[in-house]
């Protein structure tokens, strides 16, 4: 197969796991336990299709554009598509379609579950990198923002605004980012310079995911 980068590319995505389905001889890629891509292998373990999910309108268009994209083999043919692994589909286009498949499956989860899968909070913090995590704090996603540094019984102001009020997965898609609420929730232990760096790091985390 010409797409030798495929395995690395998929495993670099947040929350992705893979397994081999022995009866079908498919390498399956999952996010949050749901399959979003598969490489179908023949009896010599040679790939014969790459299966992925697309918006039905785009899938239909792609099938018309490329003879190497056909309705999903052994799958729901409205949403799934099969790509021949030695065909003419350009690498960048395949990457783009795999990205879409990943996004479509991820977006089927609740917003809370999406944040857990991405291992990131709505403000871009990575709880697992915090010394308090699993110790005095169970994590922002798990506690729905009602962490120890939030007002008693209430979610932290960023969580309240982004998740509870605006019903967003995170602040990533908010035009006000980083807003006055971000500025007002400075960790008192950080210097102004450290706080600026923290903000930039959190924005990067949000925009990369
Ligand atoms: S600052 Fe707020 S939104 Fe960010 S991790 Fe802490 S509780 Fe969650
Ligand atoms: S205004 Fe936007 S950036 Fe600020 S906390 Fe709310 S969602 Fe996040």
Counting ligands in written order, the one closest to the CA of 172 is 2
Higher-confidence residue: 107 or 135? 107
93 with 48, same domain: the answer is yes
Q: How far apart, in whole angstroms, are the C-alpha atoms of residue 171 and residue 177?
A: 7
Give the mean model confidence (pLDDT) for residues 198-205. 93
Q: What is the token pair recorded at 192?
A: 């102004």
Look at residue 209 and tell me whether its pLDDT is greater than 70.
no
Domain assignment of residue 71, given as a range: 6-107
pLDDT in tens, 72-119: 999 899 999 999 999 999 999 999 999 999 999 999 998 778 878 887
Q: How many domains does the chain have?
A: 2
Counting ligands in written order, the one closest to the CA of 169 is 2
Give the mean model confidence (pLDDT) for residues 147-164. 93
Q: How far apart, in whole angstroms, are the C-alpha atoms of residue 202 and residue 133?
A: 17
Measured from the CB, is residue 27 less than 6 Å from ligand 1?
no
User: Can you tell me the ipTM of this complex?
Assistant: 0.86
Higher-confidence residue: 132 or 192? 192
Which range has the worst mean pLDDT, 52-66, 110-124, 181-195? 110-124
Measured from the CB, is residue 161 less than 6 Å from ligand 2?
yes
* Of 178, 104, 30, 130, nearest in space to 143 by CA: 130
Give distance in angstroms: CA of 159 to centre of ligand 1: 6
202 with 155, same domain: the answer is yes
Measured from the CB, is residue 147 less than 6 Å from ligand 1?
yes
Atom of ligand 1 lying closest to residue 149 CA: 7
- Report strand pairing: 47-53 vs 16-21: unpaired
92 with 164, same domain: the answer is no
163 with 141, same domain: the answer is yes
- First-to-last C-alpha distance (Å) of the chain: 28
31 with 99, same domain: the answer is yes
Give the mean model confidence (pLDDT) for residues 181-191. 93
Measuring CA to CA, how many Å separate 144 from each of 26, 33, 154? 37, 22, 9
Confidence at residue 120, expressed as pLDDT on a 0 to 100 scale = 81
Give the mean model confidence (pLDDT) for residues 9-18. 92
Q: How far apart, in whole angstroms, are the C-alpha atoms of residue 120 and residue 172?
A: 11
Look at residue 130 and tell me whether its pLDDT is greater than 90.
no
194 with 167, same domain: the answer is yes
49 with 83, same domain: the answer is yes
Which range has the worst mean pLDDT, 113-117, 137-141, 143-147, 181-185? 113-117
Measured from the CB, is residue 203 less than 6 Å from ligand 2?
no
**Residue 134 pLDDT grade (very low, low, confident, very high; cuts 50, 70, 90):** confident
123 with 177, same domain: the answer is yes
Any domain includes 56: yes
Confidence at residue 136, expressed as pLDDT on a 0 to 100 scale = 86
CATH number of the domain residue 18 falls in: 3.90.1150.30
> What DSSP string describes 89-122?
--HHHHHHHHHHHHHHHHHTS-HHHHHHHHT--T
Domain boundary among 82, 107, 132: 107
84 with 12, same domain: the answer is yes
Rg (CA), the chain: 21
77 with 125, same domain: the answer is no
Q: Whose CA is nearest to atom 4 of ligand 1?
A: 123
Determine contact, residues 120/204, Cβ cutoff 8 Å. Answer: no
């Amino acid at each position: 197969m010409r797409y030798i980068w495929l395995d690395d590319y998929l495993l670099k995505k947040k929350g992705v796991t893979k397994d081999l389905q022995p009866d079908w001889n498919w390498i399956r890629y999952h996010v949050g336990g749901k399959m979003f891509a598969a490489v179908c292998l023949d009896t010599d373990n040679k790939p014969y299709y790459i299966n992925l999910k697309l918006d039905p309108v785009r899938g239909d268009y792609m099938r018309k554009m490329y003879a190497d994209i056909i309705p999903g083999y052994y799958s729901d043919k409205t949403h799934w598509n099969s790509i021949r692994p030695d065909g003419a589909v350009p690498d960048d286009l395949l990457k783009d379609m795999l990205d879409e498949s990943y996004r479509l499956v991820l977006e089927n989860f609740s917003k809370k579950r999406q944040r857990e899968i991405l291992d990131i909070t709505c403000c871009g913090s990575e709880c697992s990198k915090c010394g308090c995590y699993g110790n005095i704090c169970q994590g922002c996603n798990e506690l729905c923002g009602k962490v120890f540094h939030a007002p008693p019984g209430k979610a932290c102001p960023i969580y309240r605004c982004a998740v509870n009020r605006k019903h967003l997965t995170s602040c990533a898609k908010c035009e006000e980012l980083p807003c006055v609420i971000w500025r007002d929730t400075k960790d008192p232990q950080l210097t102004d310079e450290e706080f600026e760096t923290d903000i930039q790091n959190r924005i990067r985390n949000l925009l990369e995911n």
